[in-house]
Amino acid sequence: MNSKWKGKSLISLNDLAEEEFGQIFELSATLKSKLKKGIPHRMLEGKTLGMIFSKPSTRTRISFEVGIYQLGGIGMFFNQNDLQLKKSENIADTAKVLSRFLDGIMIRTFDHQDVIDLAKSASIPIINGLTDLMHPCQVLADLFTILEKKKTLKGLKLAFVGDGNNMAHSLLHGCAKVGMDISVASPVGFHPNEQIVHETMETAKSTGSKIEILVDPIKAVKDADVVYTDVWASMGQESESSKRKKIFKPYQVNENLIKHAKSDYLFMHCLPAHRGDEVVNEVADSSNSVIFDEAENRLHVQKAIMALVM
């Protein structure tokens, strides 16, 4: 294994070099094929991954736990509320203590800065399993899925329709790094974070990606190879749900909107989906939809990440 990966944290896709995406995808494909053929690949024999969650999860928790087990290690789940973390113990002390027990930590929490702070004081790799700002593991699995289906990434156009949220942010970072074009359409007041858009534009200067931040969903979806959406109210925003339903209605991915994409478009969603809100069943269950392939690829891609950094 390439030693430059060992001990590295994965917090933002903006921290990865373009060729590192390729290295992750190559190992993901190898591990996926070994699993399908029943070939053992116990690259993390005896290692322990701690998994800290302060938000619910189906895919992230289960794919990391199954993934570390298949690699010969063990995963330990911690509900953040059960830890002393941020109650009677600060993040730095927690990071130092956990570094004495564990070989890596995957964390899902609210404040992105907490993950940065954890990594600063830990001597083991920290993997971001979603913050209010980013969801890098999901986007690595998504890009790997696009690569599997389309055989290339460079020059493809991805349209993200909906809230300028953590998914939009990691898609912006990720698409720019791999040379994909990305158009994000959101209602006024719900556009992606300006700093992230700036970082994306900077990356695009060297990779040649075209970046568009729009209001019009039809313009975003026009001739797109991939159409992506996500919930209108993310975890922690549940109280805004009914207000957002009205604002985001024109951003629903339905047959009227999707007809503007290329005929061989892929429909993607990180899931969980609120069917009937951001996407209708006719699109989510169509033959263009790859939502369950994306979910499966969380397992293969995260195994590659763990095998590289732990």
Which residue ranges make up the site for ligand NVA (CB under 6 A)? 130, 135, 165-167, 230-231, 234-235, 270
What residues numbered 51-80 form the site for ligand CP, per CB under 6 A? 57-60
Please state, in angstroms and rounded to a whole number, the distance separating the CA atoms of residues 219 and 205: 22
CB of 34 to ligand NVA, least distance (A): 27
What single-letter amino acid sits at 166? N
Give me the catalytic one of 59, 70, 103, 108.
Answer: 108
Structural contact between residues 11 and 128, judged by C-beta atoms closer than 8 angstroms: yes
Indicate whether 165 belongs to the interface with ligand CP (CB under 6 A). no
Q: Which of 74, 97, 201, 271 binds ligand CP (CB under 6 A)?
A: 271
Q: Which of 91, 158, 270, 305 binds ligand CP (CB under 6 A)?
A: 270
> Among candidates 12, 225, 243, 2, which has minimal Cα distance to 115?
12
CB of 231 to ligand NVA, least distance (A): 5
The question of whether 181 is a catalytic residue gets the answer no
Which residue, 138 or 165, is less far from ligand CP as judged by CB? 138
Which residue, 207 or 237, is less far from ligand CP as judged by CB? 237
Indicate whether 247 belongs to the interface with ligand CP (CB under 6 A). no
The question of whether 270 is a catalytic residue gets the answer yes
Give me the catalytic one of 59, 112, 135, 269.
Answer: 135
The question of whether 275 is a catalytic residue gets the answer no
The question of whether 113 is a catalytic residue gets the answer no
Give me the catalytic one of 59, 112, 269, 298.
Answer: 298
The question of whether 175 is a catalytic residue gets the answer no
Residue 58 binds which entry of ligand CP, ligand NVA, none, CB below 5-8 Å type-dependent: ligand CP
The question of whether 137 is a catalytic residue gets the answer no
CB of 204 to ligand CP, least distance (A): 26
Which residues contribute to the site for ligand CP (CB under 6 A)?
A: 57-60, 130, 138, 270-272
- Residues annotated as catalytic are 108, 135, 138, 230, 270, 298
